[in-house]
Amino acid sequence: MFLKRQLPFVITLITSLILIISYFSPHPTISPLRSIFQDWYMIIVAFTMFVGILSLVKVSIKKIKREKGIEVLYPVITLVSLIVMAFFGFLKGGLDNPGFDFMFEYIMVPLQATMFSLLAFYIASASFRAFRAKSTMATILLITAFIVMLGRVPIGEWITGDLLHFTESSFLSRFHIPNVTEWIMNVINMAGQRAILIGAALGVMGTSIKIMLGIERSHLGGE
């Protein structure tokens, strides 16, 4: 019970208190603790990465034993690519090793970029559902998103520029679509994001205090 509950709680409380005190204290012994603890945290995170790798290997081996036919091939691909890329990474040159660099530039980067670009198609279908003006709120969202998108493509510039000549009048130029987009992004959007940021920050601080005091224990399995 001591190892399961009390000791982890004491470790959490002491480390978080030291970190807070070290921020406010200029004392030469306490002040550097902030960066030392952050380095230590990163070392532990690096080990958790290793836990993840071991877990991936374990799951892949299980799959190889369980699956049949072409399905066996996929976990093999995961393991082989993992071993080959890690092998190059630990050779001379490390991150700059030509083999590692080749795999990063011509395999990982195209795969990652294409995975994210695939979202363009799904976001298009999400837009179709979100952009149905069912209520006032949905209509506001629709109009804003439409203006922002229009303001970032040449046709937006063309409609109120070459077609309607809004740019020729100092008053009407305020309603030139790219200018409206810029205003939305820099005034309403920025202020809205700020409200969300402040609200979220208060939430994070509240949760952090609950963790420090041992009220929130879900990271220890809720015990």
**99 binds other proteins, rule: CB under 8 A:** no
Give the whole-angstrom CA distance, residue 64 versus residue 76: 7
Task: Please report how close the Cβ of residue 88 comes to other proteins at its closest, in angstroms.
Answer: 8
Give the whole-angstrom CA distance, residue 189 versus residue 197: 12
Exposure b/e, 27-36, CB count within 10 A at least 16 = b: eeeeeebbee
34-53 residues near other proteins, rule: CB under 8 A:
36-53
Task: Please report how close the Cβ of residue 179 comes to other proteins at its closest, in angstroms.
Answer: 11
- Of 35, 11, 14, nearest to 23 by C-alpha is 35
Give the whole-angstrom CA distance, residue 176 versus residue 94: 52
Select the residue interacting with other proteins from 92, 117, 129, 155 (CB under 8 A).
117
**Site track for other proteins across 124-163, x = CB under 8 A:** x--x--x------x--xxxxxxxxxx--xx----------
Task: Please report how close the Cβ of residue 44 comes to other proteins at its closest, in angstroms.
Answer: 5
Phi then psi for residue 26, to 5 deg, are -85, 5
4-33 residues near other proteins, rule: CB under 8 A:
4, 7-9, 11-20, 23
**Site track for other proteins across 185-214, x = CB under 8 A:** x-xxxxxxxxxxxxxxxx-xx--xx-xx--
Residue 133 near residue 139, CB atoms below 8 Å: yes
CB-nearer residue toward other proteins: 36 or 163: 36
Task: Please report how close the Cβ of residue 166 comes to other proteins at its closest, in angstroms.
Answer: 16
Map tokens 């208190």 to a residue. 17
Select the residue interacting with other proteins from 61, 72, 109, 163 (CB under 8 A).
109
Size of the site for other proteins (CB under 8 A): 122
- Of 77, 76, 101, 81, nearest to 89 by C-alpha is 101
Select the residue interacting with other proteins from 61, 86, 133, 163 (CB under 8 A).
86
60-79 residues near other proteins, rule: CB under 8 A:
70, 73-75, 77-79
CB-nearer residue toward other proteins: 15 or 167: 15
Residue 146 near residue 176, CB atoms below 8 Å: no
Extract the tokens encoding 88.
């190059």
Extract the tokens encoding 128.
């179709």
Task: Please report how close the Cβ of residue 165 comes to other proteins at its closest, in angstroms.
Answer: 21
Rg (CA), the chain: 27
Task: Please report how close the Cβ of residue 29 comes to other proteins at its closest, in angstroms.
Answer: 14
